Chain A
Amino acid sequence: MTAAVETGLTTTIHGDRVSLLRVLGPAHVWALGVGIVLVGEFTGWNFAADKGGALAALIVCWIVGLLYTSVAMIDSEVTSTVAAAGGQYAQAKHIVGPLMAFNVALFLVFAYTMLEVSDAILLGDTIVAKAGVEGLTHNSFIAATIVVLAWLNYRGVLMTLNVNFVITAIAYVSIVILFFSVSPWTQGAVLKLNELVTPGNALPYGWIGVIAAFQFGIWYYLGIEGTTQAAEEVRSPARSLPYGTMAGMITLLIAAAMTWYVCASLMPWEYLGITYYPLWDAGKLTGSPLLENLLFIATLLAALASANGCINDAARAWFSLGRDRYLPSWFSAVHPKYRTPYRSILFLLPIALAFAFIADLNQAITFSILSGVLQYTFMSINIMMFRKKWPLGSIRRGYTHPFHPLPAIVLFCLCMVTFFAIFLGFGSQLIAMTVFYFLISLWFHFYRYKFVRRGDQFSMPWPKPQGY
């Protein structure tokens, strides 16, 4: 506390400790979750059509929607109780144990950093495609995206998520405008769903195509669970987190349905499954320059919002690992003026840049999805243990999800199907990542854990769990 006074700086440190700032509300939680995810409507989901046809893309839209609704409900209950930066990491630490927590934090950092990389590559490629200038590469746009957003995150969480709210809202409204511009209530005028999706081509590869489509169906909603990373910076976690997360999920279900309907009604599945810009292409196909430019800008804004949220979330997860000494405590520094985990933001910046310059979009996306699905699998087990160890009534919950244990069982089963789908498409990456997490777990168990202050890491004032 006295450091600021001694050096005569205008910066003040509040209290005896420098902590993250509680300034966010439900709208920021919505902006964080939907901001990370919405890019999936602008690219990614449509590759499901390549795997199984246009109807498969719709089927996985609803089934994966069920998976993520379970994720949102489970997350809301646990996070409204374990309100700490790190989100699922803090949940795993308190409910399962340190080794699971370490792995979950790595899932989070990988999922968000690789998604940030994918967003930056997408943004760069979109600008290069629009420019059509020979010799223009995407490198400068990738660098600017990652560095400018890292700077924004460095300067404070409130401005970061205010920006995210505005650009996410613009991108979302552009989907709504596109939907109503093509007269969705009449077929034949602009939309030709009856001609493009017929009984003969709806499922070209049968039901195995639907299973394979799960891998990219994840993109409709990938990242909504990121809202929990804001737990330590929202003013009222027990109210804001469930409210923001569930509102975000409803928003995304509507956006996913509108996106599929418009795109499947304008493009044959063979093209829809390979284009990188389904919504921008839909804008072009309407013949309206206004819609084409609006969807181009919206694609850029969605990629920016996603990368912005990912930097925020990856830094919080890394910061939490440092704070519990799972990694060197050096990473747990909080900026005394901006109140952000500035060293974690800066540490992850060159890593994201390096991956963005050397990895291709497909690899980055696959690593992100794999880490995400590993995390969802953990969540289904986590909620079962949470309800068993601390039954309803034993501790105060901000939100209690209905129909337990049905959402956990549905989530676990759908995760297994998704793993199988990923194995069909990217089996070697799946095995490589599993080996990586196994080896890093050995390192943590046999080497790193001795540096952890075991008593300090459990911060929740809960009663002893049942059975202990």
Chain B
Amino acid sequence: MWMAINYACWGISVLLALWMLYDWFKIDTTYSEDVLTSSREGELEAVSEKHRI
């Protein structure tokens, strides 16, 4: 049983790592760098977020 858990851990690690890499690629190619790095220190959500869709 422990060896099966051992292999399952490797499998889960690889799958989730691949998913994060895929999502990273998707986000970086979808949004501009200006949008992704637009966060500014000290801004309150109530001020910065206007919930425009």
Contact = CB atoms under 8 A, between A and B. Distances in A.
Interface of A: 1, 3-4, 7, 9, 12-22, 83-86, 90, 127, 131, 133, 135-136, 140-141, 143-144, 147-148, 150-151, 154, 232, 320, 322-324, 329-330, 332-337, 342-343, 346, 349, 457, 459-460
Contacts, number: 127
Taking residues whose C-beta sits less than 8 angstroms from the other chain, chain B's interface range is 35 or more
Given A20-B39, A144-B10, 13 more contacts: A1-B35, A3-B31, A14-B49, A17-B43, A17-B48, A19-B39, A140-B6, A141-B9, A148-B12, A150-B20, A333-B36, A337-B27, A459-B42
A92 to B, nearest CB: 13
B10 A140 contact: yes
Contacts of A14: 48-52
B2 A147 contact: no
A64 B6 CA distance: 39
Interface of B is mostly: helix
Interface of B: 2-3, 6-7, 9-10, 12-13, 16-17, 19-21, 23-24, 27, 30-33, 35-45, 48-53
Contacts of A330: 33, 37
B45 to A, nearest CB: 4
18 contacts: A1-B35, A3-B30, A4-B30, A14-B51, A15-B49, A15-B50, A18-B38, A19-B49, A86-B41, A131-B2, A135-B3, A144-B13, A151-B20, A333-B36, A336-B27, A336-B35, A342-B23, A343-B24
Contacts of B31: 3-4, 13, 336
Given A342-B27, A346-B24, A17 B38 contact: yes
Given A3-B31, A324-B41, A336-B31, A147 B13 contact: yes
Contacts of B39: 17-20, 323, 332, 334
